Amino acid sequence: MQVPQDGEDFASQPWYHGPLSRQKAEALLQQDGDFLVRASRSRGGHPVISCRWQGSALHFEVLRVALRPRPGRPTALFQLEDERFPSLPSLVLSYVTGQRPLSQATGAVASRPVIRQGPIRRSFSEDTLLESPARIELPRARKRSDSQPAGLEHMGLSGEDHSGPGASPVPTCALPRMGSDPVLLKTPASLGSVVDGLRASDGQLHAKAPNKPPRTPSLVLHDASGRPPTYCELVPRVPSAQETPTGHSGPETEASWWEANEEEEEEDRSFARPKAEVFFCPPNNLFCLLGPQNRPLEPKVLSTLRDLFLEHHPGSTALHLLLVDCQATGLLGVTKAQRGAMGVTSGLELLTLPHGHRLRLELLERHEALALAGALAVLGCSGPLEERAATLRGLVELALALRPGAAGDLPGLAAVMGALLMPQVSRLERTWRQLRRSHTQAALAFEQELKPLMRALDEGAGPCAPGEVALPHVVPAVRLLEGQELPGPLDESCERLLRTLHRARLVARDAPQFREAAARRLRGFQPNPQLREALTTGFVQRLLWGSQGVGAPHATRLEKFQRVLSALSQRLEPDV
């Protein structure tokens, strides 16, 4: 298998099949080790490595990490697991020639490429991989055979290809250049006027090159469809004909609220007493993966979610969970109106105040719902014993990706550990024995690292330094402020009480540092809309209790689902 040098287009590679559905990809994989690379339509064109291993078709999403453009280095890196490569061909070459597993969780090895038969319908270069397959072709500059830079002045689309009844001219913008790059349009001009002035047979060259623009960085134009921009120096963005679906904000809007600097200059005004309760997860009944009136635990939805999580490695899932947790806690994305209503700048500060009651209840609901969903992922595996052990290993690896020093999402870590330590899960002796036998490293990490870390965090003695931690563990303080008793021996209760309150005070004080740490981890991150939706509080509640049951009292819902989990646990491993 030959792979081009870094930076070349990989669409010509025989193992790249372009936009291809999951079902068609699985039909092409016949033997263990067969693999291909496709552009996933449901992921907006993200590259996915499909591989057959141990009789099952597995799919691994390759993350594209955008870099700030600098001369002499790639504009993006491609990441699988924890390794990054300057191009997708170099990633494939490294894993195939080295016979290394595509993920530690599955151990799948890609060794034999499935050769593409015929040309692909649409090729994605590394710069446009994140674009949707339905996106309109971008206008490119005409290449001249001479060395005059004026030959690139006119840009446009062929009138025969893109002009039609009712078509309106699309404005394009001038892009400044860096160094000796070719010059683009000096002034904005409509594509229609450019097409009229330039035909394929014209040899129009200007006698004098246009004036050299100032040496400024190349401009990144945001697409009107709301998708995240990719850097391309010679190709400006044009508005897409597709509109953003109703009820869903585009990634461009999403990226602004966690990457932008939330600090604003305080206006000279007198203090106003907070007038309203504020929380940051408004109820939303419009979900892509759920119908308007869904029943609890719909099998089709659970199957879709399972495939969705299998396509993302633990590091990617951890960043998605960190993003949603930061929004639910009010660490990122807090509007000016919300800051005015709550009287502080962050939800970490609001948690410690009397009018933070609603936010505290929301965070407790979120913690419990995520823990129940994690337990359901294990107890819902009615297949072979190895399948349940693999699910346990997946949760352990997700917890490792959430711990301090990694994603640093301690509320997410607490929810995952809550699922693993739930009585209905911890009683599965045969499943845990299989985990220790088949996945010894994950079992050791759970016993020797994760359990002591979680115990220390619950006792208010674990790590909580901004930087190492992006979002601190606030569940003990929230429980305490809501009048719940802290678990543990009575002779240690006073000491734990003081540690918890002191930790809550430090968290409120260091809220700006936590915000900077979270934004730094999420900078350049491009979330999957479906996975991000699946991790929201409203979605998890609707999934567990249905559209009707979610309105029942909290205690009733919790008791009912605990009985469901107990029944599932007994069915998997009955008491002797």
Q: Cα angle at 481 between 479 and 483, to 5 degrees?
A: 75
First and final C-alpha spacing in the chain: 55
Residue 245, φ and ψ in degrees, nearest 5: -60, 145
Q: Assess if residue 232 is contained within a domain.
A: no
- Last residue of some domain: 95, 113, 131? 113
CA 107 to each of CA 59, 73, 82, 100, 390: distance values in angstroms, whole numbers, following the listed order: 13, 32, 15, 8, 11
> Which residue in 555, 410, 565 sits closest to 484, CA to CA?
555
Q: Assess if residue 279 is contained within a domain.
A: no
Number of domains comprising the chain: 2
CA dist 135 and 307 (Å) reads 26
Residue 443, φ and ψ in degrees, nearest 5: -65, -40
Tokens of 369: 């719902």
Residue-number span of the structural domain to which 67 is assigned = 16-113
Q: Assess if residue 261 is contained within a domain.
A: no
State the CATH number of the domain containing residue 103. Answer: 3.30.505.10
- Torsion angle defined by CA atoms of residues 285, 288, 292 and 297, in that order, rounded to the nearest 10 degrees: -100
Supply the pLDDT for residue 490. 62
Instruction: Judge contact between 499 and 492, C-beta under 8 A.
Output: no
Q: Assess if residue 370 is contained within a domain.
A: yes
CA dist 158 and 47 (Å) reads 30
CA dist 469 and 405 (Å) reads 7
Supply the pLDDT for residue 141. 40
CA 207 to each of CA 148, 181, 214, 505: distance values in angstroms, whole numbers, following the listed order: 9, 19, 21, 70
**Strands 34-39 and 47-53, how do they pair?**
antiparallel
Mean pLDDT by 10 residues, the chain (576 residues): 44 85 89 90 80 90 81 80 84 87 86 85 42 38 40 39 40 38 39 38 41 41 41 35 36 42 44 67 73 90 91 93 94 86 89 90 94 95 91 96 95 97 95 95 95 92 90 94 77 82 93 94 91 93 91 90 94 88
Residue 36, φ and ψ in degrees, nearest 5: -150, 165
Q: Assess if residue 91 is contained within a domain.
A: yes
Supply the pLDDT for residue 66. 79
Supply the pLDDT for residue 271. 56
- Last residue of some domain: 84, 113, 142? 113
How many angstroms from the chain centroid is the CA of residue 211? 43
> Which residue in 7, 86, 156, 105 sits closest to 399, CA to CA?
105
Q: Look at the pTM and tell me if it is higher than 0.75.
A: no
CB neighbour list of residue 65: distance below 8 Å, 6 or more residues apart:
76, 77, 78, 79, 84, 524
Q: Assess if residue 81 is contained within a domain.
A: yes
Category of 297 on φ-ψ map: left (φ > 0), alpha (ψ -120 to 50) or beta = left
State the CATH number of the domain containing residue 563. Answer: 1.10.840.10
> Which residue in 19, 143, 42, 91 sits closest to 533, CA to CA?
42
Q: Cα angle at 396 between 390 and 402, to 5 degrees?
A: 140
- Last residue of some domain: 97, 113, 129? 113
Element (H, E) at 51: strand 47-53
Tokens of 411: 């509320």
Q: Assess if residue 203 is contained within a domain.
A: no
How many angstroms from the chain centroid is the CA of residue 4? 29
Q: Assess if residue 5 is contained within a domain.
A: no
